[in-house]
Amino acid sequence: MEREPFKSAWGSLYTNLDTIKPSRYLFYVPFLLRRLLYALSINDLVFFMPFSQTLLANVFLQFSLSFALISYVTLCRPYLNDRDNYLEIFNESTICILFLIPMCALIVDESILDGPARHNLGYVLIGILLLNLFINYLLFLIDLIRAIITKIKSIIKKCKEKKK
């Protein structure tokens, strides 16, 4: 993983991962397995039945894989800094919530959760997703601003050194 040809070709796949820990190889197992099973389930290739008939099984499978990734990140801390570990847990938790809430709404009786309540639940899901996107973009902007400030400080320092 540290050889330059491999790093230049595949390095973006393990950005910010701690490549020294042996557990680094386990990070992509649930990550890629979830995407593979998602692609297969959409095409009715997991349970060999129409997607609509196996909806709960597919969602449970995806939820289980997200939970496995949360457990792995919590226990192994695969990223170099804690913020990336927490952000991964936060993103996967959001995915779990976005899977779990609609499934509970499908299972609950119509008398408990009627049409307007289901409609409002949709807005809650959109709000959860937008909050997740907002936090991710905010953290990205903070990193970008810090990088710009660091670059400006280094340019000012170089200018001061040239004047001396």
Q: Which residues of the chain have pLDDT under 50?
A: none
- CA gap 42, 55 in Å, rounded: 10
- CA gap 131, 97 in Å, rounded: 13
Q: What share of the chain is helix, strand, coil (3-state, %, to 5)?
A: 80, 0, 20
- CA gap 123, 125 in Å, rounded: 5
The pLDDT, as a whole number, for residue 76 is: 86
The pLDDT, as a whole number, for residue 52 is: 62
Place of tokens 């386990």: 26
Contacts of 38 (CB under 8 A, 6+ apart): 62
The pLDDT, as a whole number, for residue 154 is: 95
